[in-house]
């Protein structure tokens, strides 16, 4: 029999197995007995007592058990005398084990684990701990629920999905239509897929994936902005400058090139070159804009008309050039120094009273000048100022008899200064105030009529520049101009000063422009102080196609000769049709009608000009 004193220890250490009629002897082996305080020598007695129970089993097997007891008793006695420890056979992977999955390694078990890692660890052969029960426990698995659903897959736990993250400018997928949304109508005639254009299936050279937009996660490539002027000049880069050039040549007929009361027409031609260079620098700036023209005629005018000397020259060819070079030196973020060099080459306008009678050709007038100034910004407040100097000189007049007449009395120098202050109320509205003063000093004290033409003058004006949603932009101002002469016989020259420059984009194909300008010009008329000139121009450009443009222009002007009763009014109506073959080649047709309405007798005139030309540009 097993010792009664050890019943408690045996009950605590022996582990039951899944068998109803077999009691394991594993609990009698050394590892558990030592824990209970037993000596190895006593194990043999326990074993003998175990086998002694067998003969008193059922009667049908007493005889067989007695024979087994008699055969084993001597050997058991020898084991007891030698005090040798007895132990049960150890558990190996090939033997039966009460642990679930004991025949294979844990990582090779065909069944899922139903408990934590501690419950699935290999059992200790000598342990008497009771196996933990699975009843009432929630099974756990290696992969948690919905661990493979990511952000878009099915989630059995019905958790809120995290919103998808997109790259900047990446196209967002459209949400599917909700339940009950009818399917889009399908036209049976167009149900078949449209045929792809030949360019879509043509053999094309491969391009990098970044350019093709096939890189995973790459934002969609933005389309380039449409060219506002697909037939405009592109230009070439020369160092740090963008250079554009053009040459326009046209020919036609002018019904009254001299703008005389009795017209006489001549065939005419115009050669007009252009040059523009703009710097492409990170700091500072330099711009050169040069435009000129030469108007020639295929003949000459008569020296006399009805026995009187012709008021127009016999040779009415005349040049015209306007050029300026502007520079800006950035001193700091809010301050810069600006400078301009300008040149103007022209003649007196045909029909002007400043033209002498009996001339062989127009004398050429040249005005060369410059400005040096600064711009200083204080947040939205801006101050600008500059000093100006200009020199105007005339060629000597050549008469029809071969003699010359001096025009030195018309030559003068002008010194002046200008200041401007502006404040940016909003990015679209910037009011300003401007003031200018100058002094004109002639080369000769007295002109051909005995008057002193030296004078002092200036103007003051106020206005604003504005920009309303890119549809209406420009600048308008109004002020007052005055000039006082040294000669007391000449009345002061004064008048209202109005200027404007407006651009209205009515539609993407139609643009309207309005310009207004006021100038004070010199004159040679005896007793006349000067000429107050107002000019107003209205222009409409319309593109019938991107390559076909029509331009209509109307100009109205007034010339007030102060100190004289003469008053002139000018009207000009012009139409242009431009056919743009390519960016570099244009065809141009022009029709213009000019009217000069003068209060002086026999000074009014009319002229009609028809021109057809070609423009080459780069």
Instruction: Give per-residue pLDDT as tens, 530-565.
Output: 999 999 999 999 999 989 999 999 999 999 998 888
**Distance in angstroms (rounded) separating the CA atoms of residues 170 and 213:** 11
- Decide: 36 and 7 in contact? Cβ < 8 Å: no
Confidence bin at 327 (pLDDT 50/70/90) = very high
Mean pLDDT across 171-200: 64
pLDDT of 184: 65
Query: Does the predicted model carry a pTM greater than 0.85?
Result: no
CB-based burial, 78-109: b 16+ in 10 Å, e otherwise: ebbeeeeebeeeebeeeeebeeeeeeeeeeee
Confidence bin at 310 (pLDDT 50/70/90) = confident
pLDDT of 152: 62
Say which residues have a Cβ less than 8 Å from residue 8's Cβ, sequence separation at least 6: none
pLDDT above 90 covers what percent of the chain?
A: 54
Is the confidence at residue 611, as pLDDT, over 50? yes
Confidence bin at 17 (pLDDT 50/70/90) = very low
Range from 115-119, 320-324, 349-353, 549-553 carrying the lowest mean pLDDT: 115-119
> Is 198 or 506 the better-scoring residue by pLDDT?
506
Confidence bin at 118 (pLDDT 50/70/90) = very low
- Residue 594 burial (CB count, 10 A): 21
Domain ranges of the chain: 4-88
> Is 586 or 156 the better-scoring residue by pLDDT?
586
pLDDT of 216: 79
pLDDT of 307: 79
- H or E element: which one contains 296? strand 285-297
- Decide: 353 and 566 in contact? Cβ < 8 Å: yes
Mean pLDDT across 394-418: 93
Mean pLDDT, the chain, whole residue set: 81
pLDDT above 70 covers what percent of the chain?
A: 70
Is the confidence at residue 606, as pLDDT, over 60? yes
Q: Which among 294, 248, 297, 293 has a CA at the least distance from the CA of 268?
A: 297
CA-to-CA dists, residue 171 to 168, 342, 378, 445, angstroms: 9, 53, 43, 78
**Distance in angstroms (rounded) separating the CA atoms of residues 350 and 312:** 7
Q: Quick: pLDDT tens for 432-488.
A: 999 999 999 999 999 999 999 999 999 999 999 999 877 899 999 999 999 999 999
193 by Cβ neighbours in 10 Å (0-12 / 13-18 / 19+) ranks as exposed
Confidence bin at 114 (pLDDT 50/70/90) = very low
pLDDT of 63: 61
Is the confidence at residue 87, as pLDDT, over 60? no
> Is 281 or 116 the better-scoring residue by pLDDT?
281
DSSP letter assigned to residue 178: P
pLDDT of 162: 72
Range from 89-93, 272-276, 376-380 carrying the lowest mean pLDDT: 89-93
pLDDT of 69: 63
> Is 196 or 408 the better-scoring residue by pLDDT?
408
């Amino acid at each position: 029999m097993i010792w009664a004193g050890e019943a408690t220890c045996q009950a605590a250490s022996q582990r039951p197995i899944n068998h109803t009629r077999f009691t394991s002897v594993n609990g009698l082996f050394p590892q558990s007995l030592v824990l209970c305080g037993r000596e190895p020598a006593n194990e043999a007695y326990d074993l003998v007592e175990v086998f002694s129970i067998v003969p008193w089993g059922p009667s049908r097997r007493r005889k067989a058990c007695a024979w087994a007891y008699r055969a084993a008793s001597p050997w058991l006695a020898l084991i007891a005398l030698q005090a040798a420890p007895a132990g049960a056979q150890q558990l190996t992977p090939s033997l039966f084990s009460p642990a679930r999955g004991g025949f294979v390694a844990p990582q090779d078990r065909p069944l899922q684990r139903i408990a934590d890692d501690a419950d699935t660890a290999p059992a200790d052969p000598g342990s008497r701990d009771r196996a933990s029960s699975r009843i009432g426990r929630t099974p756990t698995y290696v992969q948690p629920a919905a661990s493979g659903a990511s952000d878009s897959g099915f989630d059995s736990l019905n958790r809120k999905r995290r919103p998808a993250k997109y790259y900047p400018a990446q196209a967002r997928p459209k949400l599917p239509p909700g339940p009950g949304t009818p399917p889009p109508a399908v036209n049976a005639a167009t149900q078949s897929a449209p045929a792809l254009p030949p360019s879509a299936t043509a053999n094309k050279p491969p391009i990098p994936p970044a350019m093709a937009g096939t890189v995973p996660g790459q934002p969609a490539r933005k389309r380039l902005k449409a060219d506002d002027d697909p037939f405009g000049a592109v230009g070439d880069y020369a160092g740090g400058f963008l250079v554009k050039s053009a040459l326009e040549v046209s020919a036609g007929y002018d019904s009254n090139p001299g703008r005389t009361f009795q017209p006489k027409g001549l065939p005419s031609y115009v050669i007009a070159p252009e040059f523009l260079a703009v710097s492409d620098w990170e700091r500072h700036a330099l711009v050169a804009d040069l435009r000129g023209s030469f108007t020639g005629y295929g003949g000459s005018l008569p020296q006399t008309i009805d026995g009187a000397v012709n008021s127009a020259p016999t040779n009415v060819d005349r040049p015209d050039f306007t050029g300026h070079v502007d520079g800006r030196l950035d001193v700091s973020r809010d301050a810069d120094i600006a400078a301009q060099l300008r040149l103007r080459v022209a003649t007196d306008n045909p029909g002007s009273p400043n033209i002498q009678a009996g001339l062989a050709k127009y004398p050429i007038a040249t005005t060369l000048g410059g400005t040096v100034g600064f711009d200083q910004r204080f947040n939205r407040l801006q101050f600008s100022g500059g000093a100006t100097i200009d020199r105007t000189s005339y060629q000597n007049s050549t008469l029809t008899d071969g003699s010359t007449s001096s025009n030195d009395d018309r030559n003068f120098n002008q010194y002046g200064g200008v200041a401007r202050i502006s404040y940016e109320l909003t990015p679209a509205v910037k009011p300003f105030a401007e003031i200018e003063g100058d002094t004109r000093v002639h080369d000769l004290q007295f002109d051909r009529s005995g008057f002193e033409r030296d004078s002092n003058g200036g103007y003051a004006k106020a206005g604003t520049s504005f920009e309303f949603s890119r549809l209406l932009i420009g600048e308008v101002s109004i002020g007052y101009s005055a000039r006082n002469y040294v000669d007391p016989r000449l009345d002061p020259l004064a008048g209202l000063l109005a200027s404007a420059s407006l651009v209205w984009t009515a539609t993407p194909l139609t643009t309207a422009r309005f310009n207004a300008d006021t100038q004070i010009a010199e004159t040679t008329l005896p007793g006349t102080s000067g000429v107050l000139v107002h000019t107003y121009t209205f222009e409409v450009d319309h593109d019938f196609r991107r390559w076909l443009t029509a331009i209509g222009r109307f100009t109205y002007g007034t010339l007030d000769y102060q100190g004289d009763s003469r008053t002139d009014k000018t009207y000009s109506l012009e139409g242009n049709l431009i056919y743009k073959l390519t960016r570099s080649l244009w065809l141009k047709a022009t029709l213009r009608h000019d009217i000069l309405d003068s209060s002086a007798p026999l000074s009014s005139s009319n002229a009609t000009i028809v021109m057809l030309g070609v423009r080459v540009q780069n």
